[in-house]
Amino acid sequence: MSWRTVVISNKCKLSYKNNYLLVRNENINMIHLSEINTLVIDTTLVSITATLLCELMSKKIKVIFCDERHNPKGEIVQYYGCHNTSKKIMSQIKWKNTIKDKIWTEVIKQKINNQSFILKKNEKENGDKLLEYAKEIQCGDKTDREGHSAKVYFNSLFGMDFTRDNSSEINSALDYGYSILLSSFNKEIVANGYLTQLGIHHKNEFNYFNLSSDLMEPFRPVVDDIVYLNKEKYFDKDFKLKLIDILNTKLKINNGNYYLSNAISLYINSIIKALESSDIDQILKVEVL
């Protein structure tokens, strides 16, 4: 199973040869494609061959491109993730609203429970209040416990003056980490043959990744924790590398501990099983550590 997150941050040429990624600058470095989970192009001073891009897509390796400010700008999403994609998309279109609402309720409950854990881990107030919010969630979160929890959570973690709308280094770091997380969900959803555009709760016509935005919710606190622990530092290259390395973070899935990249795969498969069977008991429980 692939495990490496490769970050390209200096001027070079990327090409392909005999199942290897070739990085050419003053020297030539080679990395076997079987080892690579994600390739981050963290500079605009890189040239890359079409042959390599095609091979990366065929191996289902996620490629993320950053802009001149080193912020994630876009990613490569292949057209077809598995042999029966058309069948799975037809099934996805027919997912019933009743089961989608039930699954969204469970997703948000797990997210709020994980937010509570992060507050308690970092010795912040209101962890128990979030647990109460999680217990109060109605089907489909009609009373917006998620929104109430988010306000309490971020104010408790980053201070009463903090909001997710302002321009700050903390928000830039959060957005960067969430982008890395989102790309991992995009990769797994496409690999399973489904469309990222068709969500179970998010329905924004301008969001190419509605389903990924839905399913990543319980995993967001992983990013929040890293940002909190480094909030006094400048949002520089080293900070970004720590966020990119979230794929090597471990989470608890039911009774086992898994690296985040593997946990995402297991979790998405359980959600799909729940959607296809209309049985929310299929959903695995995700807990941050």
How many angstroms separate the CA atoms of 31 and 55, rounded? 13
Q: Is 32 annotated as a binding residue?
A: no
For residue 121, the one-letter residue type is K
Residue length, the chain? Answer: 289
202 is in an annotated binding site: yes
Q: Are strands 250-253 and 256-259 parallel, antiparallel or unpaired?
A: antiparallel
For strand 62-66 and strand 72-75, is the pairing parallel, antiparallel, or unpaired?
antiparallel
The answer on whether 55 is annotated among ligand-binding residues is no
Alpha-carbon span 264 to 116, nearest angstrom: 20
How many angstroms separate the CA atoms of 251 and 248, rounded? Answer: 10
Q: Which long-range contacts (CB under 8 A, 24 or more apart) does 204-213 make?
A: 209/182, 209/185, 212/182, 212/185, 212/186, 213/182
Q: Which residues of 242-278 are buried (b: 16+ CB within 10 A; e: fewer)?
A: ebbebbebebebeeeebbbbbbbbbbbebbbebbeee
Could you list the residues known to form a binding site for Mn(2+), using ranges.
Answer: 146, 202, 217
Could you list the residues known to form a binding site, using ranges.
Answer: 146, 202, 217
